[in-house]
Amino acid sequence: MWLGSVFVKGYLMKLFWKTGEPYVLATGAALAIILVMSLTLVGVVMSNGLGYFWPRALVKFELKDGSAALGQVTQQEKNPISGIRRFQLKVGNRDVFGQDFRWIDEQDITTRSEPADTVLLERREHGNYFGFLQGVTAEGLNLTAATPYEKLQQARKLVAGKLAATRKIKEQMSDLNNSAESLRLKVQKLEYSGKEKNAAAITELTAVREKAMAEFSGLNEQFTATQADIGRITAQFTDAVGGSKDISLTEIVALQRPNDMSFFAKCGAYLERVRELLLDDPRESNTEGGLFPAIFGTVMMVLMMSLFSLPFGVIAAIYLREYARDGLMTRMVRIAVNNLAGVPSIVYGVFGLGFFVYGIGGSIDSLFFPERLPTPTFGTGGILWSSLTLALLTVPVVIVATEESLASIPKGIREGSLALGATKFQTLTRILLPMATPGIMTGLILSMARAAGEVAPLMIVGVVKLAPTLPFDTNFPFFHMDRKFMHLGFHIYDVGFQSPNVEAAKPMVFVTTMLLLAIVIIASSVAIYLRNRMRGKYTTSTF
């Protein structure tokens, strides 16, 4: 009986291995691990990033030594040495306390409260201010509201109206500045081509320019005066330790009383912050404010990169697969292309600097803009050189994908077309390329994802921490290929590791990462959707 059962068990085990069940389980497990890993990645980024904009409660701790602290609890832990629980408090008021964060031991705390009248100010400089509103000094403003908080809100609305007026002046000034600059370049060019010959034109243009400059300085005076006028409208605050502070209303970006907000009010504040993130310019050396220039720069750079690498890669692959004679040379080229995809990206960056920026850019400058030298125009990093460098980096991916998809088209299809009297070129354009499009799209998706994530080569060929202008604007010729630009990947590095206040910038790192991830996912999804539509159209039954 016992022997029998051992025999049956052994037989069943053998059968178990024979069916291949364990291997199927192993493949399933591998897939599950990969799935969990990618979900974790997205989860970590989201959980760190999403909470950043939620208006958190301002907690006031009364301490045993008689002082007090006000701020947002960012984390709590057991002190690794003494074993006592402690809180990390973001106390803000960097200009007063000198630092944003403070650790407080639980045993030092006497009371913990969340006073409803605490205010949170987002300021243009020095980070957030946490404190209590005392009053508003508003000369020339007719404030009708009763409480100081309502008064402040009313004052802010009036100030916002005045600031809008100054913005118009600013726009006029920027237009004047642009035309003065283009005049200056014209004069420079005329002077370069012959000072005596163009003397009349030069004096004329200089006169026009001086007029514009005079107008500019007039406006500037007006602007500074109004600005100073508005700046005199201030509000008085006191902080947790009793110090008082006078803050100009132009300094205040946002005003909240987080302890007094309903859930919906908090949702509204959250959405407002998201809007600011997506559409506004950064502040405070990129650690606050929006990311619009970086988003724009990343998307534009990736699109330009695709514009260069897609046609180039596809044409190269067509030659390699359809026209080149299959021999040692073709095989070598193929190996070289595959290896090119594995070259460290910084190498491309250095190449881009030497070849595109100094080589081609330098030549363009000396040929077309000699009058501006030694100030470079194209002979310095810019969005054009960045996208070309990345196109070079991603072109092997497109080549390999195109070649693979051309190779996977059944021989019968080509022969069918040729047997009807089609030339090789007609077969290629009418049959093969449409059929290869889904595969080419796969290559494009991979290359776009890679380009969006690259940072190292871009640092050398055109990305900057803060670009004053976008590479696209309403001034002719609209696309400014020579301009430097901002990029989300570089932004992460810069905010996370180069900013003066790394601890405060940490959430911003995750928010930026989340955005970069979102851009890659959106771009890939669009491409995948297009690919699937084509696949439905061109897939043969023989695949």
Partner 1 sequence: MSQTNDQTDKTPILSVSDLNLYYGQAHALKGVNIDMARHQVTAFIGPSGCGKSTLLRCFNRMNDLVESARIEGSIRFNGAEVNDSATDVISLRRRIGMVFQQSNPFPKSIYENVVYGLRIAGVNDKTTLDEAVENSLKSAAIWKEVKDRLNESALGLSGGQAQRICIARAIAVNPEIILMDEPCSALDPISTLKIEELIEELKDKYTIVIVTHNMQQAARVSDVTAFFYLGELIEAGGTRKIFTNPEKKQTEDYITGRFG
Q: Which residues bind partner 1 (CB under 8 A)?
A: 325-326, 410, 412-423, 426, 430-431, 434-435, 537-542
Q: How far is the CB of 212 from partner 1 (least distance, A)?
A: 58
Q: How far is the CB of 316 from partner 1 (least distance, A)?
A: 22
* Nearest residue (CB) to partner 1, 142 versus 541: 541
Q: How far is the CB of 471 from partner 1 (least distance, A)?
A: 40
- The CA-atom distances, in angstroms, between 504 and each of 99, 127, 497, 543 are 10, 9, 11, 55
Q: How far is the CB of 540 from partner 1 (least distance, A)?
A: 6
d(CA 41, CA 526): 22
Q: Half-sphere exposure of 237 toward its Cβ, with a 13 Å CA cutoff?
A: 25
Nearest to 470 by CA among 295, 308, 293: 293
Tokens 């497990």 belong to which residue?
29
Q: How far is the CB of 537 from partner 1 (least distance, A)?
A: 7
* Nearest residue (CB) to partner 1, 323 versus 368: 323
* Nearest residue (CB) to partner 1, 136 versus 440: 440
Q: How far is the CB of 419 from partner 1 (least distance, A)?
A: 4
* Nearest residue (CB) to partner 1, 434 versus 500: 434
Q: How far is the CB of 525 from partner 1 (least distance, A)?
A: 25
Could you tell me the maximum CA-CA distance found in the chain, to the nearest angstrom? Answer: 119
d(CA 100, CA 122): 13
* Nearest residue (CB) to partner 1, 81 versus 420: 420
* Nearest residue (CB) to partner 1, 253 versus 413: 413
Nearest to 303 by CA among 467, 437, 472: 472
* β-sheet with 59-63: strand ranges across: 101-105, 85-90, 68-78, 59-63, 109-113
Helix 2-18 × helix 21-50 angle, to 10°:
60
* Nearest residue (CB) to partner 1, 136 versus 435: 435
* β-sheet with 118-123: strand ranges across: 244-248, 234-238, 128-137, 118-123, 252-256
